[in-house]
């Protein structure tokens, strides 16, 4: 079986407290009925603007948050209902790389301490074994062995992200959630870090869930891409299919904002998305995208669009296709 991660109907609702009694007066639907699978060795890109629920989804998968509903299977084992103690052995198999390497690295720890910390906590390796393993992984991410003795502030943003990647990979995980790992970096550095991540994936047989806020970033690295909007997946497809034949008006809008470099490619109809993301505490009725959709029609306000299969692996939730 080549499915590594199977996410089934995951919901994550956060209670909203109000009034003098601080009672629950509503729910913020951060993730609202999301399902997908990720195959071994694959990269699934998850794209959505801030507030779409993509980071919350990542944290639910990592067991950092409990889902309100739904099930998650990792290597065939259900992991969404595990007790804290049972989560520990999973920790080495599932890792995360965060957006802001400076915020996520303790500045008082040397690179050696940062990278070796997971080994210290989760293995019984000796000091010299830890050092040997740390040097191996530090060199793998393109830093020098003697960089071990430096501190995060002595590095550039791109190098700090390499340190976070080394820390995530030192336990030899199968699966890495990359939560906007290049969003805080200069455009010129982004490609270097993305290429490194791609090389590491091939070299180590990693599986990635790659979270980003625009379709440009995930284009190179992803095998398939899911577009999220207000806690739901609007469209999911193999990469080529999604970029060449986007069906959901939201996906079309996101793609319209990426400049077309290849002039021989036919220009798509430009879809402009205006307005702000509605509050996940009070999502629109029917289709959650309808308040910003240039193609919204009567049905969209009253009926929630269901996922429809339009091609192999290509699913879309929009009334234009049902």
Binding residues vs ligand SF4 (CB under 6 A):
248-249, 287, 289-290, 293, 295-296, 300, 305, 318-320
CA angle 177/180/183 to nearest 5° reads: 160
Sign of the alpha-carbon torsion through 318, 29, 34, 47? positive
CA distance 215 to 44: 12
Q: CA separation (Å) from 34 to 37, 53, 140, 258, 297?
A: 10, 10, 35, 26, 24
Q: CA separation (Å) from 55 to 35, 230, 237?
A: 15, 12, 20
Structure tokens at 5: 């991660």
Helix, strand, or coil here: 109? Answer: coil
Minimum gap (Å) between residue 236 Cβ and ligand SF4: 15
296 binds, among ligand SF4, Mg ion, none (CB under 5 to 8 A by kind): ligand SF4
Minimum CB distance to ligand SF4 smaller for 280 or for 305: 305
318 binds, among ligand SF4, Mg ion, none (CB under 5 to 8 A by kind): ligand SF4
Minimum CB distance to ligand SF4 smaller for 17 or for 297: 297
290 binds, among Mg ion, ligand SF4, none (CB under 5 to 8 A by kind): ligand SF4
Minimum gap (Å) between residue 298 Cβ and ligand SF4: 9
Minimum gap (Å) between residue 113 Cβ and Mg ion: 27
160 binds, among ligand SF4, Mg ion, none (CB under 5 to 8 A by kind): none
Q: How far apart are the first and last CA of the chain?
A: 32
Minimum CB distance to ligand SF4 smaller for 54 or for 248: 248
Minimum gap (Å) between residue 250 Cβ and ligand SF4: 6
293 binds, among Mg ion, ligand SF4, none (CB under 5 to 8 A by kind): ligand SF4
Query: CB within 8 A of 127, min separation 6: which ones?
Result: none
The single residue listed with the structure tokens 């997908």 is 36
Structure tokens at 291: 């308040």
Structure tokens at 77: 């084992």
Minimum CB distance to Mg ion smaller for 55 or for 207: 55
CA distance 49 to 60: 18
104 binds Mg ion (CB under 5 A): no
Minimum CB distance to ligand SF4 smaller for 36 or for 289: 289
How many Cβ atoms sit within 10 Å of the Cβ of residue 190? 19
Minimum CB distance to ligand SF4 smaller for 178 or for 316: 316
34 binds, among ligand SF4, Mg ion, none (CB under 5 to 8 A by kind): none
55 binds, among Mg ion, ligand SF4, none (CB under 5 to 8 A by kind): Mg ion
Minimum CB distance to ligand SF4 smaller for 228 or for 296: 296
Interacting residues with Mg ion between 47 and 76 (CB under 5 A): 55
Minimum gap (Å) between residue 68 Cβ and ligand SF4: 24
How many Cβ atoms sit within 10 Å of the Cβ of residue 70? 17
Residues 136, 140, 142, 148: what is their CA dihedral angle, to the nearest 10 degrees? -20
Which spans of this chain sit near Mg ion (rule: CB under 5 A)?
55
């Amino acid at each position: 079986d080549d499915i590594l991660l199977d996410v089934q109907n995951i919901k994550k609702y956060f209670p909203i407290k109000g009034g003098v009694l601080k009672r629950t007066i509503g729910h913020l639907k951060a993730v609202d009925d999301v399902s997908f699978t990720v195959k071994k060795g694959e990269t699934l890109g998850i794209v959505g603007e801030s507030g779409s629920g993509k980071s919350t989804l990542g944290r639910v998968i990592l067991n950092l948050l409990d889902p309100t509903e739904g099930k998650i299977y990792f290597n065939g084992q259900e992991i969404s209902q595990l007790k804290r103690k049972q989560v520990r052995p999973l920790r080495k198999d599932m890792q995360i790389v965060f957006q802001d390497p400076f915020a996520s690295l303790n500045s008082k720890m040397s690179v050696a301490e940062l990278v070796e910390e997971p080994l210290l906590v989760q293995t019984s390796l000796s000091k010299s074994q830890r050092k040997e393993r740390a040097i191996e992984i530090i060199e793998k991410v393109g830093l020098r062995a003697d960089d071990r003795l430096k501190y995060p502030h002595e590095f550039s943003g791109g190098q700090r992200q390499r340190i976070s990647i080394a820390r995530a990979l030192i336990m030899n995980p199968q699966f890495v959630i990359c939560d906007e790992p290049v969003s805080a970096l200069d455009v010129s550095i982004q490609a270097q870090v993305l290429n490194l991540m791609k090389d590491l994936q091939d070299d180590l047989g990693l599986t990635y869930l790659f979270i980003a806020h625009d379709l440009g970033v995930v284009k190179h690295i992803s095998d398939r891409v899911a577009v999220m909007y207000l806690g739901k997946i609007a469209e999911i497809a193999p990469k080529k299919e999604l970029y060449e034949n986007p069906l959901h008006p939201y996906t079309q809008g996101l793609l319209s904002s990426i400049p077309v470099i290849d002039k021989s490619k036919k220009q798509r109809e430009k879809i402009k998305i205006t307005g702000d993301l509605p509050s996940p505490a009070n999502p629109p009725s029917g289709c959650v995208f309808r308040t910003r959709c240039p193609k919204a029609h009567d049905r969209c306000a009253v009926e929630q669009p269901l996922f429809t299969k339009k091609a192999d692996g290509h699913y879309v939730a929009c009334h234009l296709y049902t």
